[in-house]
Amino acid sequence: MSKTLMIAGCGDVGSRLGQQLNVAGWTVFGLRRGVAQLPAGIRPVAGDLQADACPAAWPSEPLDYLVYCAAATEHDEAGYRAAYVDGLRRVLGWLAQQGQRPKRLLFVSSSGVYGQQQGEWVDETSAAHAEGYSGRVMREAEQVALASDLPATVVRLTGIYGPGREWLLGQVRQGYRVASEPPLYGNRIHADDAAGLLAYLLQADARGVALEDCYIGVDDQPAPLHEVVAWLREQLGVSHWSAESTVRRAGSKRCSNARARALGWQPQYPSYREGYSAILRSA
């Protein structure tokens, strides 16, 4: 089932998505500033989501799907708004200029839109009222996507980890210490599973499956951070503790993937154990 996809903001997860669908026979365009970093099989579209003019290499052919998965380069409120709200509006404008109307827009969002902090279970129907600017701006961008004239689905990814995303491993090696009471629940998804969920949703839509307007991208087992750290210390053979590397995170929630699983999606790495084991084997 050959389809044409534009991935706007084609970074790590976007590139993994593009590769998966290219293997499945889709024609995939990837828009980013540095197109030399795009993997084989993704057709390069050099462009800047902060520039008003439509990129010269923007395809003229009809686009079946658009995935917007930009990442903020400036981590302040203005940078977030530029990347997620303004950038999305520009891409929607470029589609209109080209007379293109994709069958669906997938907007890649974040579980940071949730403000829950007491270890509550969270799903797509839970209140999304984050207090910080990042969650508030992301929620604003979600509304831009859902209010566009395209059928749209928001995908709220949790903490992405994988090759090249090994911050926690580095912290554990340094003797990272984390509070255990109360437990600080974290949510994560391997980068391949994040891309796999996006691919699954696109392929389901292409088959005529009715999609919801929101899905959470998370593995099967949200876990207390101290449990993850203890397991990683054992795997890495770390026995020392560093007094300086101490964390007490404010956020604590447990995100559910029940809606995505009900659609038929299954994570390749159902918990941090399988995901980090794969990273450690490859290293």
Mean pLDDT along residues 229-245 = 90
For the chain, the 3-state helix, strand and coil shares in percent, each to the nearest 5, are 40, 20, 40
For 53-62, 81-90, 122-131, 235-244, which range has the lowest pLDDT when averaged over its residues? 235-244
pLDDT, one tens digit per residue, over 72-93 is: 988 899 999 999 999 999 999 9
Phi, psi for 46 (deg, rounded to 5): -75, 125
Is residue 14 a contact partner of residue 67, using CB atoms and an 8 Å limit?
yes
Those residues whose C-beta lies under 8 Å from the C-beta of residue 52, and which sit 6 or more positions away, are 90
Residue 109 pLDDT exceeds 60: yes
Mean pLDDT along residues 39-58 = 96
Do β-strands 27-32 and 42-46 pair in parallel, antiparallel, or remain unpaired?
A: parallel
Residue 248 pLDDT exceeds 60: no
Is residue 254 a contact partner of residue 182, using CB atoms and an 8 Å limit?
no
Residue 270 pLDDT exceeds 60: yes
Cβ-in-10-Å burial (0-12, 13-18, 19+) of 111 comes to buried
Is residue 253 a contact partner of residue 117, using CB atoms and an 8 Å limit?
yes
Q: What is the DSSP string of 225-278?
A: HHHHHHHHHHHHT-----SS-EE--S--EEE--HHHHHHT---SS-SHHHHHHH
Q: Return the CATH fold of 4-161+189-219+254-262.
A: Rossmann fold (3.40.50)
Q: One-letter amino acid identity for 109?
A: S
Residue 18, pLDDT score = 98
pLDDT, one tens digit per residue, over 189-203 is: 999 999 999 999 999
Instruction: Kindly list the domain boundaries of the chain, sorted by start residue.
Output: 4-161+189-219+254-262
Q: Give the total residue count for the chain.
A: 283
For the chain, first and last CA: distance in Å?
A: 36
Q: One-letter amino acid identity for 154?
A: V
Q: What is the DSSP string of 59-101?
A: --S--SEEEE----SS-SHHHHIIIIIIHHHHHHHHHHHHT--
Q: Which of 207, 34, 7 lies closest to 107 in space, CA to CA?
A: 7
Q: Please, which pLDDT band fits residue 180 given cuts at 50, 70 and 90?
A: confident
Residue 1 pLDDT exceeds 80: no
What's the chain's Rg over C-alpha atoms?
Answer: 19
Those residues whose C-beta lies under 8 Å from the C-beta of residue 236, and which sit 6 or more positions away, are 169, 172, 173, 280
Structure tokens at 49: 């989501």
Residue 63 pLDDT exceeds 70: yes
